[in-house]
Chains A and B, each alone.
Chain A
Amino acid sequence: MLSLNHFLVLSGILFSIGTAGVFLRRNLITILLSIEIMLNAVNLTFVAVGRYLGTVDGQIITFFVMTVAAAEAAVGLALVISLFRHRQTLSPDAFTTLRW
């Protein structure tokens, strides 16, 4: 039988993969993609719990998360373009000027 646990476990695994991507990758675009994986894992949790509780609120919150993800992608990619223009690289190790 398909249960809530299946979806929660899957979403936990996907979220961890996204976290690993943010930790491990040295490329700003791939780090943004990993953040998208994490947002999608959370979306899956919202829809699954909404389905379990019998409300549409989970799906509604998913639409808001998608909107925020689109805004985040637009601003994040604008920052990536601007950074690439200054340093000609996408490695986050090249942008340490503000580090204390």
Chain B
Amino acid sequence: MPAISLHLVAFYAFAAIAVVASLLVVGQRNPMHSVMLLIVSFGALSGLYVLLDAPFTAVTQIIVYAGAIMVLFLFVVMLLNAHTEDEMVPVALGPHGMKIAVVLSIALAGEAVWAFSRISTSVFSTDPGVTGPISSVARIGIGIFTTHAFAFEVTSILILVAMVGAVVIARREP
């Protein structure tokens, strides 16, 4: 079955790009490089969405995340012109805080990998009757505007509040 193994190869390639780029985001000194690498990670994630038969979500990921949110981050990084990070031991965590944080994060990762890989192997259905409706934009639209209409309206109010709040918070004191 060459088509299925091709999916697996694509999955591992995108997963490796996403993990390495995310690790570099966290390990990077310069916030500008962090933002650029996060865009790479989001691109790999949108490839994974294509593998999951969700092309509309993949395109939205590129447009909204890489195109809008990351540009917002880039604007702020350039505006503040703060290219380096203060080298300081975190006061709240004490002198061994860094080591404890690293150990806790690795423990969380190991726990997640152990728990998720113990689920009895659940292969995705390749039946066109299942994959067709999932990748259909019309079905997504019907879902948003019927079943989830209330959440949609609440989201629009949330955006309005966030917009006014951001303007008020970032405004220079008169």
Contacts and interface: CB of A to CB of B under 8 A. Distances in A.
Contact of A60 (B18, B85, B143, B166): B143
Nearest to B100: A23
A13 B112 contact: yes
Interface string A1-26: 11111111110111111111101111
A78 B165 contact: yes
A96 interface: yes
Interface in B1-24: 4, 7-8, 11, 15, 18-19, 22-23
Name the residue among A40, A55, A84 with the largest chain B CB count within 10 angstroms.
Answer: A40
Main secondary structure of the interface of B (DSSP, over half): helix
B57 A51 contact: no
Contact of A26 (B38, B45, B77, B86): B86
Given A37-B41, A50-B134, A77 B22 contact: no
20 contacts: A7-B52, A9-B113, A12-B109, A12-B112, A12-B113, A23-B104, A29-B76, A33-B34, A34-B25, A40-B45, A40-B65, A63-B140, A63-B144, A64-B151, A67-B155, A69-B65, A71-B159, A75-B165, A75-B166, A77-B76
B159 A70 contact: yes
Contacts of A74: 72, 162-163, 166
A17 to B, nearest CB: 5
A18 B100 CA distance: 16
Contacts of A25: 26, 85
B42 A40 contact: yes
A67 B105 contact: no
Main secondary structure of the interface of A (DSSP, over half): helix
Given A70-B68, A73-B72, A90-B82, A30 B122 contact: no
Nearest to B163: A74
Query: Contact size class for B?
Result: 35 or more
Contacts of B26: 17-18, 20-21, 24-25, 30, 34, 37
Contacts of B172: 85
Given A34-B26, A59-B57, A4 B119 contact: yes
Query: Contact size class for A?
Result: 35 or more
Contacts of B144: 60, 63
Contacts of B123: 1-4
B32 to A, nearest CB: 10
A63 B172 CA distance: 33
